[in-house]
Structure 1
Amino acid sequence: MLQIANIRKNAKELAERLAIRGLDGDTLMSSVLEMDERNRSKRTEMESLQAKGNQITSQIGELYKTGQKAEGDALKLQSVEIKDALKQLESDVESLDQELTQLLLTIPNAPSIEVPKGKTPEDNKQLFLWGEMPKLHEGAMPHWELAAKYDIIDFELGVKVTGAGFPVYKGKGAIFQRALIQFFLNEAGKAGYMEIQPPLMVNAESGYGTGQLPDKEGQMYHVGVDDLYLIPTAEVPITNLYRDVI
């Protein structure tokens, strides 16, 4: 989520970067800044009234101590009015806070200004190529046919047990899958990375922290009893290790 302090400082730049994604960056930034201004104004009004209420409360005590009951009673009535007004202001500020947060949550991260504008893969710029495109020999088989031929991945069993997209790895297929995972973990360790085994479920705050929520809520498995979400990738818990830290 874009931080409001960043938007206040860099609204024009962020609007230009959001436009790269095909969004109306100017309107988005204007909406945020307008709501932020209303929020800050209402909060200032609330804090000013709180200070006035505290001052009056102090004066009431002094007036009663010195026998000025009539003046004290008058200020006491004023204090009650201030408390009632504060309740409304606090409610207004809370509502504006929530509205601003919800608006910010709908705005995606702004891409680098160097990213080309576009909506289709054809709009991408090819910066470099690595290696050579393989040339398949005649009669080359796709991976799903190879998996069936060597009985290493069973897609039909996966559909039976769970559904599409959940294959069953068998025999050498299961061994190869496990070996690949271990290989990449080992290589990452050699490169100096620390291995972490994070939770496979996260709370809503973590989902908001990496942008899975609120717009991808319907794409995540949710355990309602505990209000936890199954992670789509390790990016979610790993990134949230540093939430509110940096």
Structure 2
Amino acid sequence: MHDLRAIRENPEAFDRGLGRRGLAALSSSVIELDARRRAVQTQLQEMQARRNEAAKEIGLAKREGRDAQPILDEMAQLKERVPEVEEEERRLGAELDGLLAGIPNLPDDDVPDGPDESGNVEVRRWGTPPEIAAPKQHYELGEALGLMDFEAAARMSGARFTVLKGGLARLERALADFMLDIHTGEHGYTEIAPPLMVRDTALFGTGQLPKFEEDLFKAGDHYLIPTSEVPLTNLVSDQIVATEELPYRYTALTPCFRAEAGSAGRDTRGMIRQHQFWKVEMVGIAAPDQSEAEHQRMTRCAETILERLGLPYRTIVLCTGDMGFSSRKTYDVEVWLPGQNAYREISSISNCGDFQARRMKARCRAKGEKQTQFLHTLNGSGVAVGRCLIAVLENYQQPDGSILIPEALRPYMRGAERITA
């Protein structure tokens, strides 16, 4: 959500930010609607003031023996008019809130401009892609091992689901445990076991609603979480926290549920794009002056996971045309997949500034101060477990079809060194 005062005071900057995202100017629409609502609010205040004043006039007229009927008639008309004006104020307020709710966050000044992913800028690389003769993709490897079953998943659930068996099921669990141990034991994150179903208010707070409802799965009055960013960030919704306690750092392993409504025809084979997948999430809750440093730190936390597993990656900063709705700056960490001969995103780490906090009414206050500030929120995968499994399969594939297990994972695999058919 955006600060109305900031839009009124500097509409050119607001429109310039929208323009960098490829969107039309909206400041005039916001300001005009806000002015109409404020005028109605002023009218209501004047009507209330007149009611209070008239009550005194009626009492005085009666005490002095004068005819109070003209004032009573005026009040009767005012009584009929007030609900109409209150309804107009509610309507304009809902229209303004709806307009603001659909406007994405503005990009930071140092975010590169670009229309789409072609404008993303590489920041750094780590590791050397392995030399593999005729590398296979993960689904070829998994099916040849007899441990990855797409047909069984399709029979019971349809497309974009997978059944993992034996060593691959254990490898997925080992990866998740490994990530959580690193983030909680070394990176200072507190592990959370959050709800997997949330109300619409929680999704509004983090920006998935109302714009992206088609990508969500709904169950009754609740939604299945598309990522644990939603419940973890909402831990501070409607709260005022002590600035001295910040930053808060949360991590969670949860399944994620996504309709992938806008992804028809993309990554239809294998596990790259699923309706259900596991992810270790990182969420940071910071004071405004901490968020930039926290963003850099969080990105390094994700990179560390891949380095410990010996998986080559590159880190890019997303351009204005490729950023998520709630983000003001995003780094993507892309892992090397030999089977695709390409880097693919495995973690997206975003600094949302105060955008989500305004929607959630989440603030902080320093000790001894009366004034509050909106918190800054950050989120990122630490990392996507399914995509990490894919990366391990493809980077550690052996000529005989087996999968060498990275040394860091062997304690989580009961000492096993490879996965075989």
Distance 1:187 1:228 in 2: 32
Alignment match, 2:224: 230
The Cα RMSD (Å) is 1.6
Alignment match, 2:62: 64
2:134 maps to 1:169:
no
Q: How does 1:11-26 map to 2 (within 5 A)?
A: 11-24=11-24
Alignment match, 2:203: 207
2:50 maps to 1:77:
no
Alignment match, 1:118: 114
Alignment match, 1:91: 87
Q: TM-score w.r.t. structure 1 length?
A: 0.91
**1:121-178: per-residue Cα shift (whole Å, max 9, x none)?**
222222222333x144213211001111222221111111112221112111111111
1:198/1:238 contact within 8 Å kept: yes
Distance 2:5 2:164 in 1: 49
SS in 1 for 2:223: strand
Provide the identity percentage.
37
Deviation at 1:10, TM superposition (A): 4.1
Deviation at 1:239, TM superposition (A): 1.4
Correspondent of 1:242 among 236, 243, 250: 236
Distance 1:198 1:8 in 2: 39
**1:88-110: per-residue Cα shift (whole Å, max 9, x none)?**
21111011001001111111111
2:181 maps to 1:186:
yes
> More deviation in 113-122 or 85-94?
113-122
Of structures 1 and 2, the one with the larger relative CO (CA 8 A, separation 6+) is 2
Please, which runs of 5 or more residues in structure 1 have no aligned partner?
Answer: none
SS in 2 for 1:229: strand
Distance 2:46 2:213 in 1: 40
- Kindly indicate which of the two structures has a greater share of residues assigned to strand: 2
Deviation at 1:205, TM superposition (A): 0.9
Alignment match, 1:50: 48
User: Which one-letter code corresponds to 1:48 in the other structure?
Assistant: E
2:100 maps to 1:104:
yes
Deviation at 1:31, TM superposition (A): 0.8
Deviation at 1:28, TM superposition (A): 0.8
Deviation at 1:240, TM superposition (A): 1.6
Q: TM-score w.r.t. structure 2 length?
A: 0.54
1:56/1:75 contact within 8 Å kept: yes
Alignment match, 1:31: 29
Distance 1:185 1:143 in 2: 24
**1:165-205: per-residue Cα shift (whole Å, max 9, x none)?**
21112111111111111111111102111111111111111
**1:34-70: per-residue Cα shift (whole Å, max 9, x none)?**
11111111111111111111221232233324433x1
SS in 2 for 1:126: strand
Give the 3 Å change call, closer, same or farther, for CA 5–153 of structure 1 in structure 2: farther
